[in-house]
């Protein structure tokens, strides 16, 4: 009788372990998903008054690692008149939910190069976009990089003339 119990318990234990293992493997894959964001267009402070061209493309994988690049070019009123100044950096976090997305990037360089090596990564900028009948965008910063805690979206008070892809 004891041998039967051991076998039954062993079979039951193995079945339980299989169920737990299956649930344990499936849960993280469902909980963590890849997020991606692509932005290409201009921030307008008034109709047809564009001051910043924004190009960003980034991904956060299922393990939480974020990669991507951000480049902003100053504009003199419209996208036909770019000024010779760009700000760029790597995207370090991405937030996506529905029609809203946000990213943070530390400023690692400018063109022309105005950021000395000791100041690289000292300041960061957050960009938030919302897709809708009229796309909108907001810029938070530059601010000290350590002041950004995640990528929760900010206000988007400006019109965004361009494309936003949120996945």
Tell me the C-alpha to C-alpha distance, in Å, between residue 126 and each of 142, 145, 161: 8, 10, 18
125, two tokens: 């900028």
CB-based contacts of 59, cutoff 8 Å, min separation 6: 34, 35, 36, 37, 66, 67, 68, 94
Tell me if 150 sits within 8 A of 128, measured CB to CB.
no
What predicted TM-score, i.e. pTM, was given to this entire model?
0.78
Tell me if 108 sits within 8 A of 89, measured CB to CB.
yes
Q: What is the pLDDT of residues 141-151, one digit of tens each?
A: 999 999 999 99
Q: What is the pLDDT of residues 37-56, one digit of tens each?
A: 999 999 999 988 999 999 99
The 3-class secondary structure across 87-125, one letter per residue, is EEEECCEEEEECCEEEEEEECCEEECCCCCHHHCCCEEE
Q: What is the pLDDT of residues 74-131, one digit of tens each?
A: 999 887 889 999 999 999 999 999 999 999 999 999 999 988 888 888 999 999 999 9
């Amino acid at each position: 009788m004891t041998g039967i119990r051991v076998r039954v318990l062993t079979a039951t234990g193995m079945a339980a372990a299989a169920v737990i293992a299956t649930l344990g493997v499936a849960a993280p894959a469902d909980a963590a998903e890849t997020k991606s964001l692509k932005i290409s267009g201009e921030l307008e402070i008034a109709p047809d008054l564009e001051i910043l061209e924004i190009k960003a493309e980034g991904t956060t994988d299922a393990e939480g690692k974020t990669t991507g690049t951000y480049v902003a070019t100053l504009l003199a009123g419209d996208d036909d008149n770019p000024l010779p100044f760009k700000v760029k950096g790597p995207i370090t976090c991405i937030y996506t939910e529905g029609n809203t997305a946000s990213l943070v990037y530390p400023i690692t360089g400018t063109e022309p190069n105005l950021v000395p090596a000791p100041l690289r990564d000292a300041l960061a900028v957050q960009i938030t976009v919302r897709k809708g009948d009229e796309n909108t965008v907001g810029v938070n910063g530059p601010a000290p990089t350590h002041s950004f805690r995640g990528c929760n979206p900010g206000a988007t008070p400006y019109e965004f003339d361009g494309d936003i892809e949120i996945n």
